[in-house]
Chain A
Amino acid sequence: MIRFESVTKRYPDGTTAVDDLSLEVPRGGITVFVGPSGCGKTTSLRMINRMVEPTEGRILINDEDVADRKPARLRRSIGYVIQHAGLFPHRTVLANVMTVPTLIGWDKGRARTAAMEAIEKVGLTADQASRYPAQLSGGQQQRVGVARALASDPEVVLMDEPFSAVDPLVRTDLQNEVRRLQRELGITVVLVTHDIDEAISLGDHVAVMRQGGHLAQLASPGELLTEPADDFVASFVGKDRGYRKLGFTETQVEADPERTVSLGEDVPAGRGWVLVADEQEQPLGWVDRQGSGGPVQEEELHRMGSLAEVGDSARVFLDAALSAPSGRGVVVQDGRVVGTVTPERVLEAIRAQGGSDG
């Protein structure tokens, strides 16, 4: 939906903020640009709505080069949320949210209706709509910022560190809200953050960027955790740093049913990784039945990886999933296999639960 084609941005002072970036932001879902400070995330985001012009390369939205569109028109068609909300202090909440509908020429009644709808969507009241931004808390202001970006039903919404200025509790609320709104409206959200936890818990796709505006990896959060493309991504995702927080998250992870086999059982080729257990359903290990079939021998058993006990924290579940050779973490209760979980499954559960606050 949004395609960067060999995009380079050099600022007049010679800083190369983005270097030969090519990537495609898929339609729908939340795509997160994440990376250390100064790696060119904001610059990349702003090139989408021409707040910054690329030095080389081009950006296409729905196969149309943004350079062919009038900047002001283009921007009116794209929602934008910035860090400190950037609300107009001299306008009421309602008037703030009516900004884009008015700019695109909707009549007052329609603009007002659309704005009120957006205000309700983000969980604010009609009473709050008549206030000035300074009369709202930081979190509420950020909600107004989101409402303002959504009021004219844009297909694409850009968000630059939208939650970094609010306290962690409020942040979790807002993250859930954005996720819910994205699902509800089917919009495409491109979100910039330097917080890898936020990227992993919020993103459907995560673009990890490194200093100098290089794309290190674009993948799903699960893939990023299981198959980091290189050392930079691995250390940035941080085998322990990245999901340390999950250790504090109580999450109900529903295990998928897993059929176990016993030692000596004949398993045909093509079944892939198969979980082996004894008569008491206690797990013994994994065996690979992709290429060749045959009875399961004790010597072929692969290590189990760590086990997750029903009721354990999300982190234990994720550990189990990441350490299993099959990519399916074994979940047990009183030592018996009750099923397995994939990393994606764990992440879904964390999201459903309300982000990865800690």
Chain B
Amino acid sequence: MIGGVAWSTVGDLLLRHIYLAGVPLLLGLLISLPLGWLATRYRWLAPPMIAGTGLLYTIPSLALFILLPLLLGTRVLDDANVLVAMTLYSVALLTRTVADGLGSVPGATRQAATAMGYGELRRTFVVDLPLAVPVITAGLRVAAVSNVSIVSVAALIGVSQLGQLFTEGFNRNDMGPIFVGIGACVVLALVLDAGIALLSRVLTPWLRAGVAR
């Protein structure tokens, strides 16, 4: 027991939280990659696309959780509502990140790749994307932490995860579960953040190689 909550309960809720925040993060990244690519490839697309996806982020999460069942025809308690909503938020944050990342590749490098005979698609995957990793992972860290925090609101519509500890504590007028919930969320956010930072390091060995001698 911790703060009046069983360890096993905290564990279950934590896993649910990881699932509801993590899966949309990955889906959001997958969707943002082509969107961000389009925004860099066709310059005129960038402003409407980035403004458009950015707008998604301004929709209050509670409203989205409640509206989605109506739009998708899902049941109110369905995880799908939360997964879709969180994916939208991830796309909102990551499209711009991906566009910025691809845009950060030096023009000379891109031109050299083209001059060597890379087709556009292949170049995007083997030259542009690897070089965009530092920018993209930086955005991913923000999105991960943001997801962990936003997803807890879903407790209000009865989808269980760590946020449930807040509603429970509130209903029982007990600070215990609330502190446990906050602690678990903070730890989760820190771990995700550190994990992505580590991944970024592993993916960019050239940034750490000692400099000119």
Interface residues of A, Cβ cutoff 8 Å to B: 49, 51, 72-76, 80, 82-91, 99-100, 103-104, 131-132, 134-137, 148
B126 shortest CB reach to chain A, Å? 9
Q: Which secondary structure characterizes the binding site on chain B?
A: helix
Flag if B109 contacts A88 (CB, 8 Å): yes
With known contacts A90-B206, A135-B211, A75–B117 Cβ distance under 8 A: yes
Interfacial chain A residues near B210, Cβ < 8 Å: 135
Expressed in whole angstroms, the Cα–Cα distance for A49 and B111 within the complex equals 12
Flag if A82 contacts B108 (CB, 8 Å): yes
Flag if A132 contacts B108 (CB, 8 Å): no
A-B contact number at CB 8 A = 67
Flag if B109 contacts A89 (CB, 8 Å): yes
Expressed in whole angstroms, the Cα–Cα distance for A135 and B212 within the complex equals 4
Which one, B112, B131, B212, contacts A82 given CB within 8 A? B112
Interfacial chain B residues near A137, Cβ < 8 Å: 212
Expressed in whole angstroms, the Cα–Cα distance for A89 and B111 within the complex equals 13
Flag if A135 contacts B117 (CB, 8 Å): no
Interfacial chain A residues near B204, Cβ < 8 Å: 90
Which one, A49, A85, A89, A135, contacts B115 given CB within 8 A? A49
Expressed in whole angstroms, the Cα–Cα distance for A82 and B211 within the complex equals 22
A99 shortest CB reach to chain B, Å? 5
- In the complex, whether B116 has a CB less than 8 A from a CB of chain A is yes
Which one, B109, B119, B131, B211, contacts A86 given CB within 8 A? B109
Assuming A83-B108, A89-B131, what are 12 further A-B pairs, CB within 8 angstroms?
A: A75-B114, A87-B109, A88-B113, A89-B206, A90-B127, A90-B130, A103-B117, A131-B209, A134-B206, A134-B211, A134-B212, A137-B212
With known contacts A82-B108, A86-B108, A90-B204, A134–B209 Cβ distance under 8 A: yes
The 16 sampled A-B contact pairs (Cβ below 8 Å) are A49-B115, A73-B117, A74-B117, A83-B108, A86-B108, A86-B112, A90-B130, A90-B206, A100-B116, A103-B117, A103-B118, A131-B209, A132-B206, A134-B212, A135-B211, A136-B212
Flag if B112 contacts A90 (CB, 8 Å): no
Expressed in whole angstroms, the Cα–Cα distance for A100 and B113 within the complex equals 10
| B 71-97 to A, binary, CB cutoff 8 A, 1 in contact else 0 | 000000000000000000000000000
